Amino acid sequence: MRSAYDEREVSIAELKAYYEEQLQLFELTVQAWNARGGASRGAYDELLREQGRLDSYVSDLNALIEEQNRQAERLNQLAGQEQEKVVGFNTGVNRFNETFALGGDDEQGIYGSGTINVYQFDDHEDLVMLLTHEFGHALGLGHDGDPQSVMFPRKNERQDDGGAYIPSGTLQGLFRRCNLR
């Protein structure tokens, strides 16, 4: 629709330029006849016919412009509907990110439905820490509030260098869950 609208817009501009050119020629002709003291009856009749053609042309041009304006309104309406969809989608994405994303950091991996999905890692140590974290979820561990814990929800410097640990309370919970003690 936008492509057709743009093509019509170019056509209308060309038709308008043609009309303005014809109108200017008509006005120059009228001025020339007026400078001579008036037109002969035949020339006057021809000027009236030309004025009628110009009036008809501008009427047709105005009808095209009105139709183009209706098309512009329709395009704007559709664009508004699409904007509403985009806003709704972005709202959903933001809600998802607020619920599941980890403080704006890129998600490296996720455990769910018995599967660990790995999305990204920097090196071997990073992969080991990521898998340790996700295996913790697979074993039933939740996130830990201790930034040094392997179960902390965001990657941090200590986890980057492999120095993260499983706090004793989390480890005891894991042992109970696995019936190790």
Residues 10 and 85 occupy one common structural domain: yes
Does this model's pTM top 0.85? no
Return the H-helix or E-strand segment holding 86.
helix 41-100
Residues 59 and 139 occupy one common structural domain: no
Residues 95 and 134 occupy one common structural domain: no
Residues 114 and 72 occupy one common structural domain: no
Please give the backbone phi and psi of residue 79, each rounded to the nearest 5 degrees, phi first: -65, -40
Give the domain range for residue 162. Answer: 109-177
As a whole number, mean pLDDT of residues 70-78 equals 94
Residues 12 and 53 occupy one common structural domain: yes
C-alpha closest to that of 132 among 103, 101, 162, 112: 162
Query: Cα–Cα distance between 175 and 172 in angstroms, integer?
Result: 5
Model confidence pLDDT, tens digit, residues 120-160: 887 888 788 888 888 888 888 888 888 878 888 877 765 66
Residues 159 and 117 occupy one common structural domain: yes
Query: Cα–Cα distance between 168 and 165 in angstroms, integer?
Result: 9
Where a domain ends, among 100, 119, 144? 100
Terminal-to-terminal C-alpha distance of the chain: 70
Model confidence pLDDT, tens digit, residues 40-61: 999 999 999 999 999 999 999 9
What CATH number did the domain enclosing 142 receive? 3.40.390.10
Residues 64 and 40 occupy one common structural domain: yes
Residues 158 and 81 occupy one common structural domain: no
| SS3 assignment, position 118 | strand
DSSP 8-class letter at 139: T
Alpha carbons within 13 angstroms on the beta-carbon side of residue 51 total 10
| 109 in Cβ contact with 130 (< 8 Å) | yes
| SS3 assignment, position 30 | helix
Residues 93 and 172 occupy one common structural domain: no
Residues 80 and 7 occupy one common structural domain: yes
Residues 58 and 8 occupy one common structural domain: yes
Tally of structural domains, the chain: 2
Model confidence pLDDT, tens digit, residues 92-122: 887 886 666 544 456 788 888 888 888 888 7
Alpha carbons within 13 angstroms on the beta-carbon side of residue 88 total 6
Where a domain ends, among 55, 83, 100? 100
